[in-house]
Amino acid sequence: MAPTPTLFDLKDRAVLITGANRGLGAALCKTILQYSPKIIHAGYRKTPGDFDDPLINWCQLDIQDAGSVAKAAASIDELDVLINNAGILIPTAADPAEEMASLEAMMDMHLHRPLTLIDALLPRLRASGQPMIVNMISMAAFASVPGCEGYCTSKAALHAATQGLRLKHPDIQCIGVYPGPTATDMTAGSTAPLADAMKSAATIVSGMCDGKPSIFPDEAALAVESLVGAGVATLEQQFTTLLSD
């Protein structure tokens, strides 16, 4: 039996969003502002976003740089919500060595670095009365897309890691988000139908507040959920007792 969702109120909460300066990260930042948070630490690697608000603290944060992570973590006094949004997409390469390098880069960005950031911020999260981790994954975590196999592999790894975080940190609400192709810089030139980033962000934030463990925020993602969502959720619950006496 699936656990009862825990409702969440973003009002007066401290939030950190990585990759908040553009794309879906920027859309999430703008959407969460509508919920009257206490502060949004809006992470960016090189350039802050082109929007501002008294509740936004633009925070230089390159999650692939240990020094940057340590500096950002030290500057954050309290934290209720961590949204791991920063990502990259490197198309599949014909050269095996180039493709392996691309896979390693995306595994680092989408798996190793979010987990490292979580570990760095655990003391802040545990001090919260209702901590939450949100991992921006992809509907492509469930099946590879031609030309993006490495990206899909890295997102599948983050999907599995998110399930693992729920087991390791039962006191923290761990949410996986599985967007379909979305209109951002990352998908520029794509011929696939693209979801609107602001509409997806609104659905994601609403799902966070409703305590949904998995969020499929657009039409393409919902089609994937109809095929795998209930089965994956059931299997995850079954596996929680797999090694119990």
Domain presence at residue 6: no
Could you give the number of structural domains in the chain? 1
Which pLDDT score, from 0 to 100, does residue 79 have? 98
Position 190 confidence tier, pLDDT thresholds 50, 70, 90? confident
For the segment 100-111, the average pLDDT, to the nearest whole number, is 98
Domain presence at residue 166: yes
Domain presence at residue 184: yes
Q: What are phi and psi of 42, to 5 degrees?
A: -95, 100
CATH (domain of 196): 3.40.50.720
140-165: pLDDT as tens digits: 999 999 999 999 999 999 999 999 99
Domain presence at residue 2: no
CA 125 to chain centre: 16
How does DSSP classify residue 94?
Answer: S
Which pLDDT score, from 0 to 100, does residue 193 have? 84
DSSP H or E run through 27: helix 23-33
Model confidence at 203: pLDDT above 90 = yes
Angle at 178 between CA 10 and CA 93, to 5 degrees: 135
Domain presence at residue 4: no
Domain presence at residue 163: yes
Instruction: Lowest mean pLDDT of 3-12, 50-59, 180-189, 196-205, name the range.
Output: 180-189
Domain presence at residue 37: yes
Domain span holding position 119: 14-239
Asked if residues 23 and 197 have their Cβ atoms less than 8 Å apart, the reply is yes
Which pLDDT score, from 0 to 100, does residue 245 have? 53
Which pLDDT score, from 0 to 100, does residue 123 have? 97
Q: How far apart are CA 113 and CA 6, in angstroms?
A: 27
